[in-house]
Amino acid sequence: MITLQSSDKDVFEIEQSILIQSGTIKNMVEDDFTFIPLPSVDTETLIKIIEYMKKHADKTDSKEKNIKEFDKDFMKKTLNELFALVFAANYLHISSLLELLYPSIADRIKDKITEAIRQIFSIRCDFTPEEERRIIMDNKWAHEGTEIEGTLD
């Protein structure tokens, strides 16, 4: 059993066999660590990560369909939750989870006009108006034809 500690100081005891899906944890386990602090992962996110790893630990054929259903539902989260997961999965080197997260987030960007993306992700524009105009001109081809209404998440 390995103990993980979130940034909120909550501890979780999980079997080694489940945790080796994380490249980072696997390395630490190989170096004989049994207590692993994770200062960049908060409790809420860590719980989700553990849930994911538990489901994916048992990869027998009969569970494959279940796992696919689980993955689909797992992605039904708010953007902020997905970002937290991306950070965590990146830090923990769980490539299968990242492969799942990228398209889910990309889908929310596809076909949307810039303003909609800005609203969805709360991105602050740090260009001066002249700079912004110039950039739009440089990439005029990219801005053509996006008449689609931007929708909020």
Partner 1 sequence: MKEQRVDEVEDQISKLPEPILHHFMGLLLAKDAARMSTLSKTWYAAWSSLPYLNFGDRFFYREVRGRWILSENIQELVHIVDQTLANRKKHKISVQKFWLKVPSSYRMSSSYVHNWIKILVTSNIKELILKVGESDSSFDSLPEELFVAEGLNILNLRGFKLELPLHHGIKFSSLRNLRLTDTYLDEKLVQDLCASCVCLEKLRLSCCRGLASLQIAASLLKLKTVWLCCLPELQIVDIAAPYLENVYIESQLWNLQVVKITCSKSLKTLYIVDVYVTDGWLKDLLVNQPKLECLSLSGCLKLQAIKISSDRLKYLALSWCLELIDVELETPNLTHFRCECDENLPTLKLMKASVFLVVELEFSLTNILDSHWYSVLMKFLGNFKQSKAIKLDCCGKNGIVIPKHMRENLVPPLYGTNTNWHIIFNTFGDCSLMDILDSLLWISPQIDTLTFVRESNLNSTLKFIYEDASAEGCLNSWNELFDYRRRKELHLLAGDDEEAIADIEKLLMVSLLFGAFKEV
Residues in the site for partner 1, rule: CB under 8 A? 8, 42, 61, 79-80, 83-84, 86-87, 90, 98, 102-103, 105-106, 109-111, 113-114, 117-118, 121-127, 132, 135-136, 139, 141-143, 146
User: Smallest distance from the beta carbon of 42 to partner 1, in angstroms?
Assistant: 7
User: Smallest distance from the beta carbon of 55 to partner 1, in angstroms?
Assistant: 20
CA nearest neighbour of 132 among 105, 111, 114: 114
Query: Which is nearer to partner 1, 24 or 90 (by Cβ)?
Result: 90
Query: Which is nearer to partner 1, 1 or 137 (by Cβ)?
Result: 137
| Cβ neighbours of 152 (radius 10 Å) | 6
Query: Which is nearer to partner 1, 29 or 108 (by Cβ)?
Result: 108
**Integer Cα distance of 42 and 130 in angstroms:** 40
Contact predicate 125/58, CB 8 Å: no
Whether the CA torsion 30, 34, 38, 43 is positive or negative: it is positive
Query: Which DSSP string do the residues of 97-114 spell out, in sequence order?
Result: HHHHHHHHHHHTTTT--H
User: Smallest distance from the beta carbon of 138 to partner 1, in angstroms?
Assistant: 8
User: Smallest distance from the beta carbon of 102 to partner 1, in angstroms?
Assistant: 5
